[in-house]
Amino acid sequence: MKFTESETLEFKTSTSELKEAIVAIVAILNKHQKGDLYFGIKNNGEVVGQDVSDKTLRDISKSISDHIEPKIYPQIHAETIEGKQCVHVLFEGYECPYLVDGRAYVRIGTENKQMSTKELGKYFVKKTQGLWEQQASDKTLNDVNTRIVKSYMKRANEAKRIDFKFADVRSTLHKLKVINGEKLLNAGRVLFCNDNSLEVQAAVFAGTDKNTFLDIQQFKGNLFDLLRKSQSYIKEHMNWRAELTGEGRKEIPEVPIRAITESLVNSVCHRDYTNMKGNEIAFFKDRIEIYNPGQFPEEAKIEDYLAGKERSILRNPLIANTLFLSKEIEHWGSGLKRINDECNASGVKVAFEVLKTGFLVTFYRREQEGFRLGSSKLGEKLGEKLGENQEKILVLIDKNKHITTQELSEKIGISTTAIENNIVKLKEKGLLKRIGADKGGYWEIVK
């Protein structure tokens, strides 16, 4: 039999490595709350055995008792493996964080990393406060958006992941475990109340940086409405192309909609809700970014998720489970892989980046003939080849017919004189006219 070390299994050649063994026990406890350790097996899995007596077992027990706080009471016994005597230590503990001689460690793969003062501080906060989503909010049933609850239950029933029907809001939220007495938990507030801490900022920038924006929006509301608004915003501002097939005209987005949906759901599911910063959607000339203020697990690697070899580490398990039941989430821990697979199949470059402040997904836009601006479709509708600034002017006017020359100048990043010159050209082409006086009037695009 081949033995392999893991995040919950540690090997030591002999009790001469007892000090290192105790560090490993603490690291595993702080990560998984239970694990196994063997003396008499090399870290490569080779069984070498060692001398085992009653004193050996007592010495191991005493060292664990003397050096680990809070106290744990492991099972320690001799075990014959491949005909050789070994010592098996089976341990568990749920009073994290555990310390060895005043130091805390955490298991990362098969390594034992000492926790910094900052990491340990976060650990104590988490221990004393519990998960944010499971704390009681100030919202009651009166604050719940009943429409959203009914709509959610319809999707969950259709997905066949919930075996009960909607009867009333109270019983539904109780069965979903997002209410405690008369108070909604924070998870329930984010999911089903319009007044909550969740916010999405969305913007379209003129170039490849944030110096000049063409459009900026701020969405607030319950999680499901924000997902819908965010997806609509991206669809509206993405480039699309038309393809004629045997079944008729087919609209094809520059980034697969399924990849966008997965990214948005991941963004709200894994964000840090104790962070006041909102989620972000940003359109640049060369890319689309979706950002959430939630740290990627330090011990995890993006590559492992893309390969489908890692399990999901949930910051908000209650919110995640609720989304899973209504099939907003397809499978646990598969989000990044699904995004990557969808983009690869469509020839779209995607990148995942761990930032100091959160997690960023970047979709790189394709310069492909046939794509047109999804927000206005003006180039196709008007049958005119427009300059870049003229197109921007029409896009902004299409969104706000009362926009001023000064506002156009600020959003596009050119002078008011340049704006006026381009407006004259648009009027000459018969594409734009002014209705009413300069003050109090409005623009009209001739379609």
Distance of alpha carbon 239 from alpha carbon 412, whole angstroms: 19
The answer to whether residues 174 and 88 belong to one domain is no
Distance of alpha carbon 30 from alpha carbon 169, whole angstroms: 39
Q: Is residue 238 part of a domain?
A: yes
- Note the Cα 389 to chain centre separation in Å: 35
Other CB atoms closer than 10 Å to residue 391's CB: what's the count?
A: 19
Determine the residue type at 438: D
Mean pLDDT of the chain: 86
The answer to whether residues 107 and 193 belong to one domain is no
255: closest CA among 219, 284, 212? Answer: 284
Distance of alpha carbon 362 from alpha carbon 139, whole angstroms: 35
Instruction: Assign residue 412 the CATH number of its domain.
Output: 1.10.10.10
Diameter of the chain measured on Cα atoms: 100
Other CB atoms closer than 10 Å to residue 146's CB: what's the count?
A: 13
The answer to whether residues 267 and 157 belong to one domain is yes
pLDDT above 50: residue 433: yes
pLDDT score for 369: 44
The answer to whether residues 259 and 151 belong to one domain is yes
Q: Is residue 240 part of a domain?
A: yes
The answer to whether residues 184 and 322 belong to one domain is yes
Other CB atoms closer than 10 Å to residue 34's CB: what's the count?
A: 14
Distance of alpha carbon 43 from alpha carbon 13, whole angstroms: 7
Task: From 356, 375, 394, give the residue that closes a domain.
Answer: 375
Task: From 375, 405, 437, give the residue that closes a domain.
Answer: 375
User: DSSP 3-state assignment of 437?
Assistant: coil
The answer to whether residues 104 and 136 belong to one domain is no
The answer to whether residues 93 and 172 belong to one domain is no
Q: Is residue 4 part of a domain?
A: no
For 130: left if phi > 0, alpha if psi spans -120 to 50, otherwise beta; the answer is left
The answer to whether residues 358 and 370 belong to one domain is yes
Name 248's Cβ contacts closer than 8 Å, sequence gap at least 6.
none
Task: From 129, 163, 194, give the residue that closes a domain.
Answer: 129
Distance of alpha carbon 46 from alpha carbon 202, whole angstroms: 56
pLDDT score for 370: 46
Q: Is residue 2 part of a domain?
A: no
pLDDT above 70: residue 384: no
112: closest CA among 20, 13, 18? Answer: 20
* DSSP 8-class letter at 443: E
The answer to whether residues 290 and 211 belong to one domain is yes
pLDDT score for 22: 96
Q: Classify residue 366 by burial, with Cβ atoms within 10 Å: 0-12, 13-18, 19+.
A: middle
Query: Edge to edge, what strands does the sheet with 103-108 contain?
Result: 68-69, 99-100, 103-108, 111-114
CB 188 within 8 A of CB 133: no
The two three-digit tokens of residue 41, written as one number? 């097996």
pLDDT score for 1: 53
Query: Edge to edge, what strands does the sheet with 359-364 contain?
Result: 213-220, 199-205, 279-283, 287-292, 359-364, 350-354
Q: What is the pLDDT of residues 390-424, one digit of tens each?
A: 888 888 887 788 888 888 887 777 888 889 888 88
Which of residues 314 and 372 earns the better pLDDT score? 314
The answer to whether residues 24 and 114 belong to one domain is yes
Q: Is residue 1 part of a domain?
A: no
Determine the residue type at 243: E
pLDDT score for 400: 80
Distance of alpha carbon 262 from alpha carbon 279, whole angstroms: 14
Distance of alpha carbon 89 from alpha carbon 75, whole angstroms: 6
CA angle 298, 300, 302 (to 5 degrees): 115
Q: Is residue 179 part of a domain?
A: yes
CA distances, 127 to each of 28, 94, 121, 229, 441 (Å): 17, 11, 10, 35, 60
pLDDT above 60: residue 142: yes
Q: What is the pLDDT of residues 183-224, one digit of tens each?
A: 999 999 999 999 987 889 999 998 899 988 888 999 999 999
Confidence of residue 329 (pLDDT cuts 50, 70, 90): confident
* Domain extent for 395: 376-445
The two three-digit tokens of residue 382, written as one number? 């008007």
User: DSSP 3-state assignment of 29?
Assistant: helix
Mean pLDDT, residues 376-400: 70
Domains identified in the chain, total number? 3
Q: Is residue 336 part of a domain?
A: yes
pLDDT above 80: residue 49: yes
CB 338 within 8 A of CB 330: yes
Instruction: Assign residue 69 the CATH number of its domain.
Output: 3.30.950.30
Instruction: Assign residue 358 the CATH number of its domain.
Output: 3.30.565.60
Distance of alpha carbon 294 from alpha carbon 301, whole angstroms: 15
The answer to whether residues 337 and 396 belong to one domain is no
pLDDT above 90: residue 3: no
Q: Is residue 59 part of a domain?
A: yes
DSSP string, 359-428: EEEEEEPP--TT-EETTT-HHHHH-----HHHHHHHHHHHH-TT--HHHHHHHHTS-HHHHHHHHHHHHH
The answer to whether residues 329 and 401 belong to one domain is no
Q: What is the pLDDT of residues 247-279, one digit of tens each?
A: 766 788 899 999 999 999 989 888 888 777 889
CB 376 within 8 A of CB 400: no
Go through the chain and tell me how many residues it has.
447
Determine the residue type at 216: I
